[in-house]
Amino acid sequence: MASDLIDSLRAVVGDVHVVDDPQVLAGHLTDWMGKWHGHADAMARPADTAEVAAVMRLCAQAGVAVTAQGGNTGLVGGSVPLGGILLSTSRLTDLEPVDTVGATVGVGAGVTIDELDRHARAAGLSFGIDLASRESATAGGVVATNAGGVRFIRHGGTRAQVMGIEAVLANGSVLRRWSALAKDNVGYDLPGLLCGSEGTLAVITRVLFRLTGLPGPTVVTVAAINRVGAAVDLVAAIRDAGLTVEAAEMMTAAGVDLVTGYGMRSPVATPADFYTLIEVSGPGDLESAVTGVLERAPEVVDAVMEPGPASALWQIRESHTESIARSTTTAVVKLDVSVPLSELDATIADLVALTGHAGGRCRPILFGHVGDGNIHVNLLDVDPADAESLTDSVFEVIHTHRGSISAEHGIGRAKARWLHLGRTEVDIETMRAIKSALDPQWRLNPGVLFGE
Ligand code: FAD
Ligand code: MLT
Ligand code: ZN
């Protein structure tokens, strides 16, 4: 790369905010799992949208690739650059005052989900997206991946929370759709298009989010069950009792064994094949109402209940990702699939059979957002030579059960080879046409979504 470009970037964002020291860069060139590695000539840390636009214009003139990076917690390798300039959003951290009447807030792309939610809570509202990575994952990152998380069942995914976006296109133009109107039906939904675009269409600099009310008191139950479908039935019974399901998660005996090995407590005394964690809100005596539902549930083997936030119970579920990363002896094969709720039991049975038949080629840990039909299939200790064929087999099972190869993590680099399993030829051609229109030189996040 011409050192001229680095000098020009320094003139725009300041010397200290263009990093080309290999040791400092290194931490940004590997993903959270330590699985994906990349390279970049330098990292630029612009302070605001105008600086992002100037960086993008310089890279356009030089014909250089740009990869946006937020908290680098993505699980499909999309935040790791394959050359060119890494654009960090770490300085885009402005928090506008909350509009408590319209229940919206504008934030910089680099604000973390935890900061955003705390800001909303201070104004009596909350953010509808919550993930275990909340302390690092950013506003721009959740929009770019259209993240789901543990409150999807209640509020929907990130796309449902986005009212407006400010983003810089590949040529440096600033696209600003910033309307806090509940109804505004003029033309294409460009903010919606950027949700899930994984840094391939534009660099998001600011987001106008919808906020939600606080749920009021909650209770959290963990129920031991021997069939995943029993969790789906329990969710239905809780709703039938006039209560609101705030989250509905799933764990297996193997996953709970793993996390207890890392200091988490066992959720219940009676062991079972599966455990479901359900958070409930509602009027009246919540604990009695949920106890009544649990007592009438024919397949609940054992259960505990605690008033929210019940952090220790949540930790059992949320520590899965980190425990898996610590325990696998080779790069984890991390698949994130969804199936219709009616197919959950059959899908899990097929996955258990498949990974069992893999004959010691992997150690499977399944968990996920059961209320959304979203199963996180983690295969540990896989010989790297087997990773692709095991992935093929899992996706075959998912295809049989009319599911998706990516429920919430996106495609990134990890799943690009399997894109054709998730979308038709015409669909992919349409996506490529959109990519070419917005990024004619295909310089934004090369390798992501469509492959290298
Ligand atoms: P990064 O990892 O930095 O980037 C992710 C992608 O977005 C990349 O393609 C990058 O180029 C692009 N990008 C980032 N910022 C911008 C921007 N400003 N403009 C354009 N493109 C951008 N995900 C879920 O969906 N649900 C979960 O429940 C969940 N739980 C997690 C738990 C743990 C412990 C971990 C480690 C991850 C989890 N994730 C989950 C995955 C991850 O946290 C999300 O994908 C998150 O949205 C990524 O945000 P980030 O800021 O870290 O983005
Ligand atoms: C989760 O639900 O905890 C995440 O999506 C992370 C993961 O799949 O490991
Ligand atoms: Zn998840």
Strand order in the sheet with 302-307: 302-307, 218-225, 274-281, 244-252, 363-369, 374-380, 333-338
Q: What is the CA radius of gyration of the chain?
A: 22
Task: Retrieve residue 218's tokens.
Answer: 């909650």
Indicate yes or no: pTM above 0.90: yes
The helix/strand/coil state of 348 is: helix
Ligand 2 atom nearest the C-alpha of 376 is: 8
* Interval 391-443: pLDDT, tens: 999 999 999 999 999 999 999 999 999 999 999 999 999 999 999 999 999 99
Q: How far is the CA of 243 from the centre of ligand 2 (A)?
A: 26
Nearest CA to ligand 1 atom 25: 147
Q: How much is the pLDDT for 358?
A: 62
Contact partners, residue 316, CB within 8 Å, separation at least 6: 222, 251, 256, 259, 264, 265, 267, 277
Q: CA-CA distance, 266 to 209, in Å (whole number)?
A: 37
CB of 75 closer than 6 A to ligand 1?
yes
Pairing of strands 363-369, 374-380: antiparallel
If one residue of 133, 209, 365 were mutated to test the ligand 1 pocket, choosing by the most ligand atoms within 8 A of its CB, it would be 133
Q: What's the first-to-final CA gap in the chain, in angstroms?
A: 20
Q: How confident is the model at residue 2 (pLDDT cuts 50, 70, 90)?
A: low
Indicate if ipTM > 0.85: yes
In the numeric block, the tokens 């899930």 are attached to 196
Pocket of ligand 2 (CB under 6 A): 75, 132, 321, 336, 376
Mean pLDDT over residues 293-305, rounded? 98
At 418 the pLDDT is: 98
Q: What is the mean pLDDT of residues 120-132?
A: 98
Residue 61, φ and ψ in degrees, nearest 5: -60, -40
Cα(23) to centroid of ligand 3, in Å?
31
* Model pLDDT, residue 1: 57
* 37 phi/psi in degrees, rounded to 5: -125, 145
- Whether ligand 1 lies within 6 angstroms of the CB of 131 is answered as yes
Res 361: pLDDT:
80
Q: Is the peptide bond before 309 cis (omega within 30 degrees of 0)?
A: yes
Name all domains of the chain by residue range, CATH numbers in brackets: 3-88 (3.30.43.10), 104-213 (3.30.465.10), 218-318 (3.30.70.2190), 328-425 (3.30.70.2740)
Asked if residues 307 and 228 have their Cβ atoms less than 8 Å apart, the reply is: no
> What ligand 1 atom has the least distance to the C-alpha of 167?
19
- Identify the residue with better confidence: 303 or 215: 303
Confidence of residue 222 (pLDDT cuts 50, 70, 90): very high
Mean pLDDT, all residues of the chain? 97
Tokens encoding 173: 């133009």
